[in-house]
């Protein structure tokens, strides 16, 4: 038994105080390590950089003494051999307000085990317990505990003793501490909790009802019973933020205040739709990636990057079903769903990166590219989320077309789930392609190979048209619009090839499109445009000026690069029709054969 204890002597300083008692340490000298990354977020984060004041002592026959610790590398330590129980103590600096690490101050506490609990090497498969202590100080006197960790000796939502099956289990149940709002619902007989932390207004009854609908949909999609006997949505509400991380029996989310349903709000506005889509996404992961997972994740090597071509499936298929579930549940209608899907299509088609990097390459290089995006990302990479979602749609539409609607991607996902339940093995690199062909009854390996490993255009537009969806391609109204909706007002004939934002004294170039007008003239991301043809302008003025411009016009642009003023001659180019709007075909009588509702 490994006994962890976590508390804080001074929460405002962001320090968690952690100790570990190891009954039977390795007689050759106990080794310990901290993960360098957290499953679901594929980047080396070196959590050990926040670990301080590591000390070790032995306790045998009432005697104790401090032991020497040798640091092996950035995240590994070895304690000299000792008799009896080994006790370690350390502090963890927790000031990362994200779902990936740990955060602590006077307002709340949050941690993933991967940021705070050292792994006892050689005993990782042993059961462990965690004593979660109330942080010290008046500010924490009304705090409670929210986690999907199993309670051992603790009242519900209270401090006390929790337990985990092994280290892998210990670090897959994030913990929220604070004076949060908690409410509950049941989905297919499984108790679910919603934990809201932060400052917010929320129609709790409405949110619980909508999440129940989504959760029951996903449970029934894969088939009852659900694979977990309890589930928790942990939501940190902030002024502006968005993100989520999946766990086996919970998810941690960051949501902006405006995305929660207000009391009395009847409609699902864009922000609430995004939030429900995020909840749906993370919940679908309960099956797709937390249980059905690449074989290279069994077990995770949390010290090093783990490479797989398959994130297009684990994130892309999940992205496909997150919004689709909202439609199938009746929470949103077909036009609303088609708007979201068209936005994903627009996002992929606007970047040249899709012509350079396949979905498989995007998956493989997530560690250094997708998770380390710079201003050139749209030119150099494609998102395995967005393109994976489009590939999932292609597979779904193809299977429906070949079977006259009798089979679909749903069957592929259920087969993957059944295979997992049967033998618990990980997904091999080509397993999904094989299952798709089996379900199609014909060999689709070329069709799949080109979509997953190729950089050519997907066959999506034809598949959509054949499924009763009208596809409209138009130019973007401005650099901010995401697509999916009919344009209001006139559209420009020309495009600058870049994304800009209003900035003090001018327009800041966020990124430039490769071979776009701005880049061709020599402008770069980071430049601040202060005048065009001698006149100062903001985004709104730029937009109206673009409406009056013609292809081939030359604009004299003055821009600062750092503190140096430069002049560029920008020759305007024809705007590209890379914004998509999808609608139900009139010819089909407004009836959609996809996505199967
Ligand atoms: Zn995801």
Is 356 exposed, middle or buried, given 0-12, 13-18 or 19+ CB atoms closer than 10 A?
middle
Give pTM, 2 decimals.
Answer: 0.96
Q: What number of other Cβ atoms are within 10 A of residue 283's Cβ? A: 26
Do you find a cis peptide bond into 133, omega within 30 degrees of 0?
no
* Cα 465 from Cα 473, distance rounded (Å): 13
Distance 244 CA to ligand 1 centre (A): 8
Q: What percent of the chain has pLDDT over 70?
A: 97
Strand, helix or coil for residue 160 = strand
Distance 99 CA to ligand 1 centre (A): 13
Residue range 118-140: mean pLDDT, rounded? 97
pLDDT the model gives residue 498 = 95
Does 597 score more than 60 pLDDT?
Answer: no
Q: What share of the chain is helix, strand, coil (3-state, %, to 5)?
A: 30, 30, 40
pLDDT digits (tens, 9 = 90+) for 197-252: 999 999 999 999 999 999 999 999 999 999 999 999 999 999 999 999 999 999 99
Largest CA distance in the chain: 88
User: How many C-alpha atoms does 203 have within 13 Å on its Cβ side?
Assistant: 16
Distance 545 CA to ligand 1 centre (A): 40
Structure tokens at 13: 């300083």
**Confidence grade of residue 596 (pLDDT, cut at 50, 70, 90):** low
Distance 245 CA to ligand 1 centre (A): 7
Q: Which of 249, 253, 268, 250 is nearest to 210 (CA)?
A: 268
**SS3 track for 205-258:** HHHHHHHHHHHHHHHHHHCCCCCCCCEEEEEEEECCCEEEEECCCEEEEEEEHH
Residue in this structure with the two tokens 């949060």, named with its chain if needed: 180
Strand, helix or coil for residue 322 = helix
Distance 325 CA to ligand 1 centre (A): 15
φ and ψ of 374, to 5 deg: -120, -170
Distance 220 CA to ligand 1 centre (A): 20
pLDDT the model gives residue 585 = 84
Residue range 102-128: mean pLDDT, rounded? 97
pLDDT the model gives residue 589 = 58
**Confidence grade of residue 177 (pLDDT, cut at 50, 70, 90):** very high
Distance 347 CA to ligand 1 centre (A): 17
Distance 280 CA to ligand 1 centre (A): 10
**Confidence grade of residue 27 (pLDDT, cut at 50, 70, 90):** very high
Alpha-carbon distances, residue 265 vs 20, 206, 228, 272, 320 (angstroms): 48, 9, 32, 10, 27
């Amino acid at each position: 038994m490994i006994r962890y204890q976590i508390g804080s002597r001074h929460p405002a300083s962001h320090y968690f105080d952690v100790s570990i008692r190891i009954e039977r340490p390795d007689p050759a000298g106990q080794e310990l390590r901290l993960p360098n990354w957290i499953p679901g977020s594929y980047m080396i984060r070196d959590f050990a950089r926040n670990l301080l004041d590591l000390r070790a002592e032995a306790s045998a026959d009432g005697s104790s003494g401090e032991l020497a610790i040798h640091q092996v590398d950035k995240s590994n330590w070895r304690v000299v051999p000792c008799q009896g129980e080994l006790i370690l103590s350390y502090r963890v600096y927790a000031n990362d307000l994200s779902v990936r690490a740990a955060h602590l101050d006077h307002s709340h506490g949050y941690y993933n085990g991967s940021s705070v609990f050292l792994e006892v090497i050689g005993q990782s498969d042993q059961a462990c317990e965690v004593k979660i202590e109330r942080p010290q100080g008046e500010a924490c006197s009304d705090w409670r505990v929210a986690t999907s960790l199993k309670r051992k000796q603790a009242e519900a939502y209270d401090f006390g003793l929790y337990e985990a099956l092994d280290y892998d289990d210990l670090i897959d149940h994030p913990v929220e501490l604070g004076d949060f709002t908690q409410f509950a619902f049941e989905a297919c007989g499984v108790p679910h909790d919603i934990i809201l932390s932060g400052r917010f207004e929320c129609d709790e009854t409405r949110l619980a009802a909508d999440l129940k609908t989504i959760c029951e949909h996903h449970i029934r999609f894969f088939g009852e019973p659900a694979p977990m006997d309890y589930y928790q949505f942990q939501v940190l509400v902030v002024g502006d933020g968005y993100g989520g991380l999946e766990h086996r029996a919970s998810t941690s989310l960051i949501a902006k205040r405006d995305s929660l349903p207000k009391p009395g709000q009847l409609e699902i506005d864009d922000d609430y739709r995004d939030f429900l889509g995020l909840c749906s996404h993370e919940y679908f992961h309960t099956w797709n990636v937390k249980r059905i997972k690449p074989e290279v994740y069994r077990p995770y090597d949390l010290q090093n990057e783990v490479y797989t071509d398959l994130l297009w499936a684990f994130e892309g298929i999940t992205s496909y079903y997150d919004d689709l579930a909202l439609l199938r549940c009746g929470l949103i209608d077909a036009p609303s769903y088609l708007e979201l899907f068209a936005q994903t299509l627009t996002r992929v088609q606007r970047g040249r990166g899709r012509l350079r990097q396949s979905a498989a390459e995007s998956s493989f290089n997530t560690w250094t590219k997708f998770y380390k995006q710079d201003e050139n990302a749209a030119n150099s990479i494609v998102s395995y989320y967005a393109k994976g979602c489009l590939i999932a749609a292609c597979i779904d539409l193809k299977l429906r077309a070949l079977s006259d609607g009798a089979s679909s991607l749903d069957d592929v996902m259920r087969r993957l789930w059944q295979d997992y339940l049967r033998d618990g093995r990980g997904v091999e690199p080509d397993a999904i392609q094989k299952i798709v062909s089996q379900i199609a009854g014909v060999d689709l390996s070329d069709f799949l190979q080109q979509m997953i490993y190729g950089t050519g255009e997907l066959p999506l537009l034809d598949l959509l048209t054949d499924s009763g969806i009208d596809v409209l391609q138009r130019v973007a109204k401005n650099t901010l619009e995401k697509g999916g909706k009919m344009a209001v007002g006139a559209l420009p004939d020309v495009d600058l090839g870049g994304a800009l934002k209003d900035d003090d004294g001018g327009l800041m170039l966020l990124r430039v499109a490769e071979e776009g007008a701005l880049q061709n003239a020599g402008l770069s991301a980071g430049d601040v445009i202060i005048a065009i043809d001698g006149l100062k302008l903001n985004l709104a003025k730029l937009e109206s000026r673009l409406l009056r411009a013609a292809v081939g016009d030359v604009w004299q642009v003055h821009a600062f690069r750092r503190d140096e003023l430069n002049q560029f001659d920008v020759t305007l180019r024809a705007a590209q029709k890379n914004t998509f709007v999808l609608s139900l075909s009139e010819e089909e009588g407004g009836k959609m054969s996809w996505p199967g509702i």
